[in-house]
Each structure stands twice: as C-alpha cells, then as structure tokens.
Amino acid sequence: MPYQELTFAQAAPVLTWANHDLGYAETAMAKNVASLPFVYKHVALMPDVHLGKGALVGSVIATQDAIIPAAVGVDIGCGMGAMQLPFKADRLEGKLKKIRQDIEAAIPVGFNQNKDVAKEVYNWQGWQDFKALHPGVQHLDTKAMAQLGSLGGGNHFIEVCLDTENNVWLMLHSGSRNIGNMLAQNHIKTARHLSKLAEIKLPDPDLAHFVAHTPEFDRYWHDLQWAQDYARMNREVMMGRFKAIVEQHLGGGKVTKPLLSVNCHHNYAEQETHYGESVYVTRKGAVRAQTNDYGIIPGSMGAKSYIVKGKGNAASYCSCSHGAGRAMSRTKAKKAFSLDDLIAQTEGVECRKDWGVLDEIPGAYKSIETVMANQADLVEVVATLKQVVCVKG
C-alpha cells in the first residue's frame, strides 16, 4: 500500500502506512512530534503504529541537531533475533514440552537474573566502559552483569518456529533490561529539567530533547550506544544457549551452522544519511529496512511471524514495522478475554496458558497479515514462520 500523507499547520508532514487506521489521540501525538522545529522533512508511521509515550510506537523520526530520549524509549535497543537451523519439523515430534522446560531452566525470564555469570558475559568488552555511564546507574554494575543473557517480561519471548518448508527456526525478542531502562529514565529526567530551565514550550513534556554538540547530548548519545550494544549482546547470549538446547534435542548435541542469522534493534537511534544529509534517526518500534537488510516482524503468540528483506524505501527512512502492534491495552485485554479464549487462540503452541500471559493473547494485537499487506513497498518476505513453542517473559 502506498503511504497516506497527513498535513498540519505549522508542522512537518506525517506519512503513514497504517491504512488510515489513526484515531484522534494517535493523530494528535503524531502532530506533536511533527511540530518540533528540528524534525527533518517528515515523520513516518509504520502499519503497526499505536499510542506510546511522547511519540507513537511504530514511528520513525529523523531529526537535525537534536534527539528526544523519550522517543527512543526506556527499553533501549529492544529488538529481535532469529536463526534458521538445518533441521526439519519431524525432529521436533514428542519433544516440544521438554524443549520449553529446558529453555525456561537455562534462560531467566521476568525479573529473574542469572545466578552465575558465564565467561562470555564476564568477558564482554562493554564492561570496560561501564564507569563512563551516567552516575545514576553506577550502583547497577553487578545487576547489569547478572541480567546479561536474560529475557525480561512484558511482550518479550523465545520461540521455536517452523517455516512453510518445515524448516526449524529459533526466534527471540528482548532488550537492554534494567540497565537500559535506568539509563533512559535518568536522561529523560535531565532533558525535562533542561526544558524547564530554558522555558521551552513543548506540546508534550515527554518531547523534551537534547541539542547536538552540548555535554548533555554527548553523554546521552554515549550511553545510548552502550545500551544498544548491551541489548544486542543480550540477544546473542540467549540465542547461544537456546541454540545449544535445540541442538541437544534435535541433533544429539552436535554443533550446527545456522543457515541464516538475524539480530536487529527496533527501539533505537543512529546517525544515518537520508536525502543526501546526515540526520539522527529514531526508530521507536520500527526496524531498519535498507536495501537487502534482513529484519524480523513477529506476530503475537499464536500468530505468524516474518523474516523480511528491506527494499530501501526512502520515504520511510528505509524502515518497516516491528510487529503486529497492540490493538488494545493490557488492562482492556484482560477484561475482554478469558483463559478459554487464550487456550483456543494458542492451540497447537506449547506455551503457558494462564492468567499471567492473558494480556499477550493474539486477539489483543492487530492482524499481522494486514500489517504485512500495508508495507509491501517497504519489505519483501523471505520466510513465513509459525511458532510451536513459546516462552513468555
């Protein structure tokens, strides 16, 4: 679907791939961001767009000489990892429950962390730079090390999937855990304080920002890059453990070479070149989709997911959606659905089917098929996956 252009007085245009599916609150939030004087050319909204804090989840914001920490969000570097292994579906028969149990035993979920620090975690080069991070997180060094290689909660997950050719895939979704959250909160607080001191009038306090070439900007940018690296490493550590578990069950423990591996952020910011100019690109719930970039677009638990390759669409700042996108809040989902609904909607998936994950029921999300149809000009589908095991945070 081609995008729709929304125009506002005294604001940059907003290009949306959401198939006209924007309510009053979403439109107002998009206008607030687009009205900032440092926004470059336009704001791009992906087809899974929904309400966030300050900026819409599913938005791509290019800026010149400024960055908005709340637009990046508190789970800095949150993203996806996926890996195709050289196994077929028949190897999984009768093993799904034990695989799930082994995953849950090896990878901490929710607020849990690793009891012992693995060698690969201890040797991560990022620790060399920890003392240079914001003073407000210096007491979290031990916790950050223990949480590297843990899933977290909310909509984070680990899945064994099958594609349409019955190939086995591993997929997971996680971010920068508590350390990323606390770094973000400290910098957001600073940005708000600076805005008040300078008496800057903002349409939303969560759009407080840092100006390039200032000490506050430089400190945030440094910590942002560190947290993004931490999040990527977090996924690598978990994927290594995950891969070893599946190899044990399907191949007797023999180490295999992945046929394809993808590790991509969808809550982050980078400096990129667009329309011939260097800009800061914030993807809040969006994946980079430059020409031939591999990306991962998951559906909800019980729905399809997609491995994609970018088409380099300039209007989207070479981006695509990061998932199906919520259709209702967690609170509303728990009121609208029952455990019987959850059991029915996750039929055929080895996963938890209890009150604790009811807010993640597929019915609380938009149709992933519709989302994919709306971004055919942004990505091409490489593989279509369906989970058979799902471990939730």
Which residue reads 């901490």 in tokens? 108
**Cα(44)–Cα(42) distance, integer angstroms:** 7
- Annotation-wise, does 300 bind a ligand? yes
Q: Torsion angle of alpha carbons 203, 280, 2, 363, nearest 10°?
A: -70
Q: Which of 227, 228, 87 is nearest to 169 (CA)?
A: 87
Please tell me whether 302 is known to bind a ligand: no
Has 263 been labeled as part of a binding site?
A: no
Instruction: Check whether 322 is labelled as a binding-site residue.
Output: yes
Find out whether 301 is annotated in a ligand binding site. yes
User: Which amino acid, 161?
Assistant: C
Separation of alpha carbons 211 and 218, rounded Å: 9
Catalytic residue among 42, 50, 209, 322: 322
The pair of three-digit structure tokens given for residue 4, joined into one six-digit string: 């729709």
Q: Is 75 among the annotated ligand-binding positions?
A: yes
Task: Tell me whether residue 158 is annotated as binding.
Answer: yes
322 catalytic? Reply is yes
| Lookup: tokens for 382 | 């490489």
305 assigned binding-site residue: yes
Buried b (16+ CB within 10 A) or exposed e, 253-282: eeeeeeeeebbbbbbbbeeeeeeeeebbbb
Separation between Cα atoms, residue 286 and residue 16, nearest integer Å: 13
Strand (E) positions, 103-254?
157-163, 167-174, 210-211
User: d(Cα 357, Cα 155) in Å, to the nearest integer?
Assistant: 9
Query: Does the annotation flag 157 for ligand binding?
Result: yes
325 is annotated as contributing to ligand binding: yes
Query: Do the annotations mark residue 178 as ligand-binding?
Result: no
Nearest to 316 by CA among 38, 4, 24: 4
CB atoms within 10 A of CB 169: 25
DSSP 366: -
Judge whether 52 is annotated as a binding position: no
Geometric angle at alpha carbon 143, from 245 and 241, rounded to 5°: 10
Residues in the chain: 393
- Going along 212-350, which residue ranges are E strands? 260-265, 267-274, 277-284, 286-288, 294-297, 304-310, 319-321
The reply, when asked if residue 267 is annotated as ligand binding, is yes
What residue numbers does the annotated binding site for GMP cover? 155-159, 266-267, 298-301, 305, 322-325, 392
What residue numbers does the annotated binding site cover? 75, 155-159, 173, 266-267, 298-301, 305, 322-325, 392
Residues known to be catalytic: 322
What residue numbers does the annotated binding site for Mn(2+) cover? 75, 156, 173, 266
